[in-house]
Amino acid sequence: MDSNFDFNWEAAFQSIPYLLKGIPFTLMISFGGLAIGFVIGMIFGLMRLSRAGWLRWPAIAYIEIFRGTPVLVQVLFIFYGLPQLLGGPINAVVAGIAAIAVNSGAYISEIVRGGVQSIERGQREAGLSLGLSRTQTFRYIIWPQGFRRMIPSLGNQGIISIKDTSLFAVIGVGELVRQGQIYIATTFRALEVYLMVALLYLAITLTLSLLLRLLERKGLVGQ
Amino acid sequence: MSDRTVDSTATPIVKMEKLNKNFGSLHVLKDVDLSVTPGEVVVIIGASGSGKSTLIRCINGLEEFQSGSLEVDGRRLEPDGRASKALQQIRTEVGMVFQQFNLFPHLTVRDNVTLAPRKVRNASTAEARRTADRLLDRVGIANQAEKYPSQLSGGQQQRVALARALAMEPRLMLFDEPTSALDPEMIGEVLDAMRELAREGMTMVIVTHEMTFAREVADRVIYIHQGEIVEEGAPEQVFDDPQHERTQSFLSRVLTH
């Protein structure tokens, strides 16, 4: 080999339009999954905090199972395993969204629990002593404060889940990595294309970081 | 106090009999009897860890008790925190001011005061706001209504906490060491607001270490030691002529500095 450094900028730029086709899938799977994961996280996070065992234990089991197994195994289970039970195939995008949902849901449950628990006991006592019901105390006093404290961790989880979708190339979803692989198969430009893939992930996650920083700054008024 | 009258024949607003409270194996309150008449100002004194805070926290159900009977504003509280329906009704009629203020940091001063009237009493926003502004004016912080609690001094925060409790038009006010977390120069302004309230005839149960204030404002002083009421009576009697040896030694310790 006359040179082992033959980075071809032209090849890199040429791959971009093709790679961009993967972005809608990456975004759809990550944000779709995260939205559902947030709802799951709220429900299971609060169940986890319950004094009633029949609410708390299922939440603990869910969290441990989905936090303790790889998201790749989860999506393979959903995409290849579940059809055996359901008797029909599952759309790869749906399987991806489901995997992000149950996986991020487990982590978000713990974020919700931590956020709620971080609010000083005196806040709850002040609400109750004013005659607010337990539900009202939670809704107007605990949750708004707890949620603000959850924002950094939720952002962190968002970034992790966005990157996790890269694993879903294995079930054939046309997301960013999958698009890259297909492009490399015909051009053999792995170095250039994977660099572009990495930069596109970085563009997405940096945008999210920036939005979160704005949100955090706004959210911190009066704290 | 001369311009206040306490009708001792009236139905008590707090009626506590043989109340016992345990934290695990720790016996925190022992057969406590306490009766508070409408219009009365009762001050509870005692060393830290004597159970005085626990005692007033039982009155609005922030602490559960294990045995005995407790009636507040004509409603019975059951041992071990049962009957939460009565509990919430009691809490709407009983206000509380905490040592650590416990203002809601995510709400403005005004929203701190209007929250409960709007959500519990279903007051309209305008109505709740009028009440809030009147009360904030009364405690001397009308011009801070748009600020957040963290932007106020400790003394101002505690006065907001007082206004917040008063906005529910309580029939009884509980004070749990309201000046203990304050810098010395801010204690006076909070005590002044409480004096004013006492003068207007509010029924108050106060846990405090401010002995001068206690002597001045109390109709009755209760000394509690290791979960038991050791001595109670008019302030002159308890402070100047304590009958019990424990009261004497407690007072000699707190009054000498």
ipTM of the complex: 0.93
Is A129's CB within 8 Å of B60's CB? yes
Which residues does chain A have within 8 Å of residue B120's beta carbon, measured at their own beta carbons?
A: 130-132, 136
> Does residue A82 lie within any of the structural domains?
yes
Given a cut of 70, whether residue B2 has pLDDT beyond it is: no
- A145 and chain B in contact, CB less than 8 A: yes
Q: Domain range holding A102?
A: 23-173
Q: What is the CATH number of the domain that holds A30?
A: 1.10.3720.10
Q: What's the gap in Å between the CA of A68 and the closest CA on chain B?
A: 35
Given a cut of 50, whether residue A223 has pLDDT beyond it is: no
Question: Residue A22: pLDDT band by 50, 70, 90 thresholds?
Answer: very high
> Does residue A119 lie within any of the structural domains?
yes
Percentage of chain B modeled with pLDDT above 70 = 95
Q: What is the rounded average pLDDT of the residues A26-42?
A: 97
Strand partners, B225: B228
Is B106's CB within 8 Å of A132's CB? no
Per-residue confidence (pLDDT) for residue A221, from 0 to 100: 44
Question: Residue A131: pLDDT band by 50, 70, 90 thresholds?
Answer: very high
Q: What's the gap in Å between the CA of B60 and the closest CA on chain A?
A: 7
The chain A residue lying nearest B167, using CA atoms, is A130
Per-residue confidence (pLDDT) for residue A2, from 0 to 100: 52
Per-residue confidence (pLDDT) for residue B81, from 0 to 100: 77
CA–CA distance, A44 with A105 (Å, rounded to integer) = 8
> Does residue A111 lie within any of the structural domains?
yes
Q: pLDDT tens digits for B24-41? A: 889 999 999 999 999 999
Per-residue confidence (pLDDT) for residue B66, from 0 to 100: 94
Nearest Cβ partner for A130 among B61, B106, B168 = B168
Per-residue confidence (pLDDT) for residue A3, from 0 to 100: 55
Q: Is pTM beyond 0.90 here? A: no
Q: What is the rounded average pLDDT of the residues A196-206?
A: 96
Is A131's CB within 8 Å of B92's CB? yes
Residue type, A55: L
Q: What is the rounded average pLDDT of the residues A37-45?
A: 97
Q: pLDDT tens digits for B49-101? A: 899 999 999 999 999 999 999 999 999 998 887 767 889 999 999 999 999 99
- A17 and chain B in contact, CB less than 8 A: no
Per-residue confidence (pLDDT) for residue A134, from 0 to 100: 92
Which residues does chain B have within 8 Å of residue A130's beta carbon, measured at their own beta carbons?
A: 91-92, 95, 115-116, 120, 164-165, 168
Is A144's CB within 8 Å of B106's CB? yes
> Does residue A46 lie within any of the structural domains?
yes
> Does residue A187 lie within any of the structural domains?
no
Per-residue confidence (pLDDT) for residue B5, from 0 to 100: 65
Q: pLDDT tens digits for A106-118? A: 999 999 999 999 9
Nearest Cβ partner for A222 among B93, B102, B148 = B148
- A30 and chain B in contact, CB less than 8 A: no
Per-residue confidence (pLDDT) for residue B157, from 0 to 100: 96
Given a cut of 90, whether residue B15 has pLDDT beyond it is: yes
* Count of the separate structural domains present in chain A: 1
The chain A residue lying nearest B161, using CA atoms, is A126
A1-10, A48-57, A207-216, B29-38: the lowest-pLDDT one: A1-10
Is B120's CB within 8 Å of A123's CB? no
Per-residue confidence (pLDDT) for residue B3, from 0 to 100: 52
Please indicate whether residue B42 or residue A12 has the higher confidence score (pLDDT). Answer: B42
